[in-house]
Amino acid sequence: MRVVFKTSYDSDIDLHEHRGKRVVTGMLIAFMAALPFFVGDYYLAEATNTLIWALAGMGLMLLVGHSGQVSLGHAAFLAIGAYTDAVLMGAGVPFLIAFPLAGIITGLFGAFVAIPAVRLSGIYLAIATLALFVIIEECIILLAPITGGVGGIFAPAIEIFGVSFDRYAALSNFYWLVLGVVILVTWGYANAMRSATGRSFLAVRDSEVSARMLGINVTRTRSLAFGLSTGMTGLAGALMGHYIGFFNYELFSIFVSINLLLVVTIGGLGFIQGAFVGSILITVVPQLIAILRDTANASLGIDLSAIPGLDTMIFSVILIGFIIYEPSGLWGRWLKIRAWFELFPLARRDMFRRQKTYLKTERMR
Amino acid sequence: MSFLDIEDLAVHFGGVKAVDGVSFSVERGEVFSIIGPNGAGKSTIFNLISRLYRPTRGRIRFDGQDITELPAHRIAPLGIARTFQNIELFDHSTVLDNLLMGRHVHRTTNVFQDILFLPRVRREEREHRQRVEQVIEFLELEAYRKKTIAGLPYGIRKIVEVGRALALAPKLILLDEPASGLSVEESREVAFWIEDMRRDMGLTVLMVEHDMNLVAAVSDRVLALANGRPLAEGAPSEVQADPAVRAAYLGRREVAV
Query: Domains in chain B, please, with CATH?
Result: 4-79+170-250 (3.40.50.300)
pLDDT range class, residue A351, cuts 50, 70, 90: low
- The full length of chain A comes to 365
Mean pLDDT, rounded, for A63-82: 93
Asked whether residue A109 is assigned to any structural domain, the reply reads yes
What residues in A contact B121, CB-CB < 8 Å? Answer: 191, 195
Asked whether residue A224 is assigned to any structural domain, the reply reads yes
Cis peptide before B55 (omega within 30 of 0): no
What residues in A contact B122, CB-CB < 8 Å? Answer: 10, 13
pLDDT range class, residue A231, cuts 50, 70, 90: very high
Question: What amino acid occupies position B145?
Answer: R
For residues A214 and A312, which has the higher predicted lDDT (pLDDT)? A214
Cα(B237)–Cα(B233) distance, integer angstroms: 10
Q: How many domains does chain A have?
A: 1
Q: Are A165 and A173 a contacting pair, CB within 8 Å?
A: yes
Q: Would an 8 Å CB–CB cutoff place B47 in contact with chain A?
A: no
pLDDT value at residue A276: 95
- The full length of chain B comes to 257
Asked whether residue A9 is assigned to any structural domain, the reply reads no
Cα(A249)–Cα(A247) distance, integer angstroms: 7
Asked whether the beta carbons of residue A207 and residue B81 sit closer than 8 angstroms, the reply is no
pLDDT value at residue A350: 66
Q: Point out the residue among B102, B114, B130 whose CB comes nearest to the CB of A214.
A: B102
pLDDT value at residue A353: 60
Model pLDDT for residues A258-300, shown as the tens digit of each residue? 999 989 999 988 899 999 999 999 898 888 888 888 888 888 7
Model pLDDT for residues A327-347, shown as the tens digit of each residue? 888 898 888 888 888 888 777
Q: Are B218 and B195 a contacting pair, CB within 8 Å?
A: yes
Cα(A345)–Cα(B87) distance, integer angstroms: 36
Asked whether residue A5 is assigned to any structural domain, the reply reads no
Q: Are A182 and A54 a contacting pair, CB within 8 Å?
A: yes
CATH code: domain of residue A145: 1.10.3470
- SS3 category, B57: strand
Cis peptide before A345 (omega within 30 of 0): yes
pLDDT value at residue B70: 93
Task: Quote the mean pLDDT of chain A.
Answer: 88
What residues in A contact B164, CB-CB < 8 Å? Answer: 210, 214
Calculate the dihedral angle through the C-alpha atoms of A123, A128, A130, A132, rounding to the nearest 10 degrees: -170
Q: Of the candidates B165, B148, B49, which has an alpha carbon nearest to the alpha carbon of residue B103? A: B165
Q: Point out the residue among B73, B91, B93 whose CB comes nearest to the CB of A212.
A: B73
Q: Would an 8 Å CB–CB cutoff place B92 in contact with chain A?
A: yes
Asked whether residue A18 is assigned to any structural domain, the reply reads no
Cα(B232)–Cα(B249) distance, integer angstroms: 13
Cα(A336)–Cα(A52) distance, integer angstroms: 28
Q: Would an 8 Å CB–CB cutoff place B57 in contact with chain A?
A: no
Q: Of the candidates A130, A107, A126, which has an alpha carbon nearest to the alpha carbon of residue A118? A: A126
Asked whether residue A296 is assigned to any structural domain, the reply reads yes
Q: By residue range, what is the domain housing residue A170?
A: 36-362
CA of B213, closest CA in chain A: separation in Å?
A: 29
Asked whether residue A19 is assigned to any structural domain, the reply reads no
Using a pLDDT cut of 70, give the percent of chain A over it.
94
| pTM score | 0.90
Q: Would an 8 Å CB–CB cutoff place B118 in contact with chain A?
A: no
* Sites in chain B below the pLDDT cut of 70: 252-257
pLDDT value at residue A149: 80
Whether this model's ipTM surpasses 0.85 comes out as yes
What residues in B contact A189, CB-CB < 8 Å? Answer: 115
Q: Would an 8 Å CB–CB cutoff place A232 in contact with chain B?
A: no
Asked whether residue A10 is assigned to any structural domain, the reply reads no
- Rounded to 10 deg, the angle between the A218-244 and A95-117 helix axes is 140
pLDDT value at residue A1: 60
pLDDT value at residue A263: 92
- SS3 category, A102: helix
pLDDT value at residue A362: 46
pLDDT range class, residue A365, cuts 50, 70, 90: very low
Asked whether the beta carbons of residue A188 and residue B115 sit closer than 8 angstroms, the reply is yes
Q: Are B164 and B171 a contacting pair, CB within 8 Å?
A: no
Question: What amino acid occupies position A229?
Answer: S
Asked whether the beta carbons of residue B114 and residue A196 sit closer than 8 angstroms, the reply is yes
Q: Are A260 and A60 a contacting pair, CB within 8 Å?
A: yes
Using a pLDDT cut of 90, give the percent of chain A over it.
50
Q: Are B116 and B167 a contacting pair, CB within 8 Å?
A: no
Question: What amino acid occupies position A364?
Answer: M
